[in-house]
């Protein structure tokens, strides 16, 4: 089990705030990038690398968003370096976060099982 390092977590939270609140919305002006959300940031213990998780409203925009973010990674890193006082500014790696889609699939499965259970109980009568 990985230990949580408070400084790395604080840096990750600050990077997430900077990216989500201002940088991605205002500094990257690409019309193909609509409704992008930064869902989480994980920073390595030595603060050298940051994995930035994102999601999009439309799943089909995933590849385009990945390309745009990957090409803007150096620019975003420089902007973060200017806004945060860090000796080492982490390299940014962007990764699509499919947890929302998986959650929706799980909800659909649970709903279908509940509906099936209700239908089966309705056909057999109440206990």
Do 92 and 109 lie in one domain? The reply is no
Do 111 and 90 lie in one domain? The reply is no
Do 91 and 104 lie in one domain? The reply is no
Q: Give the range of the structural domain holding residue 68, as residue numbers without chain letter.
A: 6-96
Q: Which residue has the tokens 């390299």?
A: 91
Residue 1 maps to a domain: no
pTM (2 decimals)?
0.77
74: domain CATH number? 3.30.300.20
Do 66 and 120 lie in one domain? The reply is no
CA distance 85 to 98: 32
pLDDT at position 5: 65
Render pLDDT for 84-122 as a digit per residue (tens, 0 to 9).
988 889 999 999 998 877 888 888 889 999 998 888 888
pLDDT at position 36: 86
Render pLDDT for 33-78 as a digit per residue (tens, 0 to 9).
778 889 999 999 999 999 999 998 887 888 999 999 999 999 999 9
Contact residues for 89 (Cβ-Cβ < 8 A; gap 6+) = 77, 78, 80, 81
Do 42 and 71 lie in one domain? The reply is yes
């Amino acid at each position: 089990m990985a230990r949580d390092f408070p400084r790395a977590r604080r840096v990750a939270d600050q990077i997430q705030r900077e990216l989500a609140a201002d940088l991605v919305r205002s500094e990257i002006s690409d019309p193909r990038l609509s409704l992008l959300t930064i869902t989480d940031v994980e920073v390595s213990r030595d603060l050298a690398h940051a994995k930035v998780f994102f999601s999009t409203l439309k799943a089909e925009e995933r590849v385009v968003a990945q390309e745009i973010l990957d090409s803007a990674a150096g620019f975003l890193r420089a902007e973060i370096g200017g806004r945060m006082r860090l000796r080492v500014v982490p390299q940014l790696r962007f990764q699509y976060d499919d947890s929302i889609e998986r959650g929706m699939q799980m909800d659909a499965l649970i709903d279908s099982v509940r509906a099936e259970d209700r239908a089966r109980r309705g056909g057999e009568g109440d206990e």
